[in-house]
Structures are given as structure tokens and as C-alpha cells.
A and B are shown apart, each in its own frame.
Chain A
């Protein structure tokens, strides 16, 4: 991930649920009670870049400022859906940078099972993406059609990037073969 990678920046900007471990004065506006202190134990959605820093910083050796929770897009419900059929889940509606978020979260949490499920669903979905990338655009106007459109709409940013690169290389190949005809 490079410093100027817009996808990395957008990934960092995704909200994750956090619980404050301290009562903080003047921060009540985070919980729509402006002007009041924020009581300890309040749940607030914070962007990942901020939450990560706050969760890692330690006030005393045993407590940190906030506690991170698993975001909704990586909840057990989603994991079960991915386990049942990776292709039918609309990842984009869960998080635009689903895999990017998952990578960052896996760095913070030790979630062996989530990691397994994600690896497997990335593999299965990637193979499907590759098939669509090559078959779309081949039949002229009719792109995919039917169930393909539904699946492609649910791709997250990383899968879209994969689709694009697979599609570009197969297109370059077709262009080259077309040029051979003209000569």
C-alpha cells in the first residue's frame, strides 16, 4: 500500500465500532449530546485510522482509551453467509473496501476463523471474477447478462481492480489478434 493510494486512504476512513473506557469532558457531541462529557462505556463509530491509534495507545499498562469491536461487515452473520456461498454475498453493500478493511482488522484481532473464511471466499470469488472478465465484452453489447450482473455489482474495490486487470489483458490480446488480421 503506497502513501498516495486512494483506496488505502478510503479504507482507513471506514468506520469501526469502538467503546470508550473513560469519561471524557466536552466530547459529548460525538454521541449527539453536545456540551456534555462523554460517559465511559459509550459506543461510537470512529474512522479506522483514529480508532487504531486510540486502541493501541495505553493509558495505564492494563487499560487503553477505547476498545475496538469487530465491524458489522465482519460479523459472524456475514462470515456464515460467506461460508455457505461466497458468490452470493454482496460485499460492496457491506463495505466498499471490504478486503482492505478485513486486512487491517486481521492485523489488530487474532481471528483465525475469519482469516480462513476470507481467504477461501477471495479464492472462489476471484476465479469467478476472472471468468466474467474474459467472457464480458466478447459478445459485443450484451455484457454478462442475468446472474452475472448481480454478482459483478457486489464486487468490492479490490475485486473490481482484479476484474479490470484481467479484462484489460484479455482485451489487449484480442486487439493484437485483430491487428494481425488487418495486416
Chain B
């Protein structure tokens, strides 16, 4: 490789992207609306809650101008339920991501394709018991910058560590079930951004090895299919996957 750059994002870059997430703050001082690229922020008036991007909330937190309300899924009770789900209810799959807030029906609507960075998944009214896309980095950032706003920070920190361990070992274990010939890629629904960044090198390496070892067989199969022609070939292909 000519460039020493790795594919994918480094943990620091993922954390930077995570700062775009919206969180709920309780301001301590008045602040007029700011015109940001992402749109104007709400005017902050002390007792009223307001949604702000995480980076601005952290800035105000450091200047002691606001408190951050932790999202409901970051509470110890919710994390414990998720951990129980990961270890007992479904010891093989990842716990599901939060449900899409806009109902998805057969009618196509513009809200269907809004994905995590643009969905407020970490505000005070986010659903509990689901880990959003940026759970690990958001949790860590909040624990470091605003540990006095998070109830029972040490327990939350321990639970986040446990969840990370459990989920990473699931991710590593998932390669055992991979198929050689383009077959089953293991299910990754619910995996967070930081986990993708951590697991990328390993998973890609394993898949690459499988692809190369199976390539000769792949070539042979394609040649056979071409010889046999369209209709019959596809039937044979399905039988080979068994």
C-alpha cells in the first residue's frame, strides 16, 4: 500500500462525528439563538430544556453555563436491561437499534431515509433500552465531560465496559459462522460506529482471506455455469449453498 492510511475511520474521527449528535441541555444562563450551519439553535432560557449539538453542549458545560441531561438509555437501569438482553435473551445477536421514530409505511416519505446522525437518538426523550449508533463514544464523552450530570457514573462506566466486551467478542465470534462462497455474512444490525471502526481491520482481513482461498472454486463455478447456460445454472448454484 502506497498510503499508510488505514481504511475506515479512527476512533478520534468517529468521536468527532459523534459530536454532531443532539443532546438535551438545561441552561443556567440566557443565550440568544446562534446561526449555525446546521440551522439556528433555540434561544436558551434558564429553566427550559433545549436540544443542542453535543459539541456546543460540551462547550457550555465546560463554561458552567449549562447542564447536560443524559439520554434515557444511558441510565444504569436501562444499560442493565440491555446487558441482560445481550447476554441472556440473545447471546448470539446484537441488541436491536432504536426503532425509527417516523413510522415507515408502504408509502414512500422523505423521513424514511433519515439515518442516525440526523435523528435525535440521544436527547432526553430518546427511547430507553436501545443502544443508538453512537452509544459507546457518546457515553464515554458524557462520562468524562459531564460525569456530575450522569447518575451513578461509576456504575454506568462499568456497564459500558461490560457491554463493549460482550459485543466485541460477539463480533469476533461471528467470523466462525461465515460462509466461504459469498453466502452468509453474519448479521450486524445494531452495531455502533465505534464498534465498526474497531472491528473493521479484523473482519475485513478474515473476509479477504476467505475470498482468496475460495477464489479458485469461484472461478471454476462460474465457468461451469457459463457452460451449462442460464436457467440450469441458477438451480445448481442454490444446491451448492446447502
Contact = CB atoms under 8 A, between A and B. Distances in A.
B224 to A, nearest CB: 11
Interface in A103-123: 103, 106-107, 110, 112, 115, 118-119, 122-123
Contacts of B201: 165-166, 168-169
Given A162-B206, A168-B201, A180 B141 contact: yes
B175 interface: yes
B15 interface: yes
A41 B220 CA distance: 30
Contacts, number: 97
A165 B201 CA distance: 5
B140 A123 contact: no
Most central of A168, A169, A175, A181 by chain B CB within 10 Å: A169
A123 B202 contact: no
Interface residues of A, number: 37
Interface in B94-140: 140
B213 A103 contact: yes
B214 A119 contact: yes
19 contacts: A107-B215, A107-B216, A122-B206, A122-B210, A122-B213, A126-B209, A127-B173, A130-B172, A131-B169, A131-B172, A158-B209, A162-B205, A165-B202, A166-B205, A170-B168, A172-B10, A176-B12, A180-B140, A183-B144
Interface of B: 1, 6, 10-12, 15, 140-141, 144-145, 168-169, 172-173, 175-176, 178, 180, 194, 197-202, 204-206, 209-210, 212-217, 220
Interface of A: 2, 99, 102-103, 106-107, 110, 112, 115, 118-119, 122-124, 126-127, 130-131, 133-134, 158, 161-162, 165-166, 168-170, 172-173, 175-177, 179-181, 183
